[in-house]
Amino acid sequence: MKLFSFFNSSASYRVRIALALKGIDYQMEGVNIRAGEQNGADYLRRNPIGLVPTLVGDNGEAIGQSLAIIDYLDRLYPDVLLLPASGEARTKALEIAFVIACDIHPVNNMRVLRYLTDELGISEAQKKAWYAHWIAVGLTAVESLLQKAGSGNFCIGDSPTLADCCLIPQWANALRMGCDLSAYPRCRRVYEHCTSLPAFASAAPERQSDAVAA
């Protein structure tokens, strides 16, 4: 398997966590999204939306969208299931994952932020305020879902799920962007516990071979 990813991309980080939790060996090829490599013809042939990550499976098929990739990995490697097979835990894991992947992440994606600054002319301070605003709206919801789920070291239950694969990268990004995260103690506990585990630690941006200075 080959993962096309960027070290600082939170969607790539979700997939790296899943691969590490399942103990899957894979090759990594860096796609420098700051330099626009995600919009090159070669990359677009594999992933027409022009975003990372893309996973090329052992059969040569390219899959885009981090949540679809994790679902694919769950089908192929079901020993460690990240999307619980059934019941309330599955629904709760999807709900948290979707708040992060569908509601928080898209409005704070690099191309959206660049459009705001480069095309609409907002200032760096306004961009930071935009980012922090959507983080606050989204993490307030996640914190409340964690409370409902009775979270502890993980978002749901006693083992990692898709929800943790999404929360850890989103929290790491918010930290990097200097957001005030004091109002989300349940999220913080999950982040601190998960990042202390070897699989999560090995997926961290600074541990990737394509990591470059900001």
Query: In the set 24, 94, 109, 211, which binds ligand GSH (CB under 6 A)?
Result: 109
Contact positions with ligand GSH (CB under 6 A) in 55-74: 65-67
Query: In the set 10, 151, 161, 208, which binds ligand GSH (CB under 6 A)?
Result: 10
Contact 52, 6 (CB under 8 A): yes
Query: In the set 21, 51, 97, 149, which binds ligand GSH (CB under 6 A)?
Result: 51
Q: Taking the complex as a whole, how short is the minimal distance between the CB of residue 208 and ligand GSH, in angstroms?
A: 13
Distance CA 17, CA 202 (A): 8
Q: Taking the complex as a whole, how short is the minimal distance between the CB of residue 163 and ligand GSH, in angstroms?
A: 14
Q: Please identify the residue of the shown chain whose CB is closest to the bound ligand GSH.
A: 111
Nearer residue to ligand GSH within complex by CB, 65 or 208: 65
Largest interatomic CA distance in the chain: 49
Nearer residue to ligand GSH within complex by CB, 67 or 93: 67
- Residue 55 forms beta bridges with which residues? 3, 63
Distance CA 31, CA 208 (A): 12
One-letter amino acid identity for 54? Answer: T
Sheet strands (E) in 58-213: 62-64
Binding of ligand GSH by 3 (CB under 6 A): no
Binding of ligand GSH by 104 (CB under 6 A): no
Exposure pattern of 142-172 as b/e (b: 16+ CB <10 Å)?
Answer: bbebbeebebebbbbbeebbbbbbbbbbbbb
Binding of ligand GSH by 47 (CB under 6 A): no
Query: In the set 3, 4, 7, 11, which binds ligand GSH (CB under 6 A)?
Result: 11
DSSP SS3 for 112: helix
| Residue ranges in contact with ligand GSH by CB under 6 A | 9-11, 33, 38, 51-53, 65-67, 101, 109-111
